[in-house]
Amino acid sequence: GLYQAQDYKEAAAKYQEVLASDPNFMTPDGVTPYFFVANSYDNLYKPARKGEAENDAFLTKAIENYKIASEKDTNPKMRNLALDYLVYAYLQLADDKNARAVVEQMTAVSGYKRFAGFYALAASTARYAVERGDWKGAAQLQVSPTQFAYADAITHFARALGAAQDSSRARSLHR
């Protein structure tokens, strides 16, 4: 389809048509079109064009639809993915407060059983520190071991990156 072909403008329009006819549309596995609408708009947003009204509107629409997906999708994988991408979208706008609130919301959830939950939590927590250049915070991230080493690796990487950046800054101040 259009989304898989990366024709995000047309994909967003088609998903919006589906939602206009049935705002509660859901696949049998609990997925709504909201994540795909959001991700289509997210892919249309270009950080280099930040400040241009049409471009900025893409990210605003992405955020609106990621929020809805995180509330309406009953499929945990898609709900967690929507929250993860929502954190990143807020960070693109330098909206640290809302990004942090979503990370806290994700952290408050327990009982993840599948990779998507562990990945989304690790990625969002790491991304919140790294994207903001909070090297000390990244270095201090807590690793919560799971059965998915590749999800745990995200936190280890962010910690190492934070430690390297933080020690590099400390050394540069003493030169």
pLDDT in tens, 9-18: 999 999 999 9
In the chain, what is the greatest distance between 2 CA atoms, to the nearest angstrom? 64
Residue pair 106/79 in contact (Cβ under 8 Å)? The answer is no
Q: Whole-prediction pTM value?
A: 0.87
Asked whether residue 173 carries a pLDDT value surpassing 80, the answer given is: no
Q: Given this model, what pLDDT does residue 63 score?
A: 98
Compute the distance between CA of residue 69 and CA of residue 95 in angstroms, rounded to an integer: 20
Task: Find all residues with CB under 8 Å of 145, minimum gap 6, and list them.
Answer: 152
Compute the distance between CA of residue 70 and CA of residue 83 in angstroms, rounded to an integer: 6
pLDDT in tens, 115-167: 888 899 999 999 999 999 999 999 999 998 999 999 999 999 999 999 999 77
pLDDT in tens, 61-110: 999 999 999 999 988 888 889 999 999 999 999 999 999 999 999 888 77
pLDDT-derived band at 172, boundaries 50, 70, 90: low
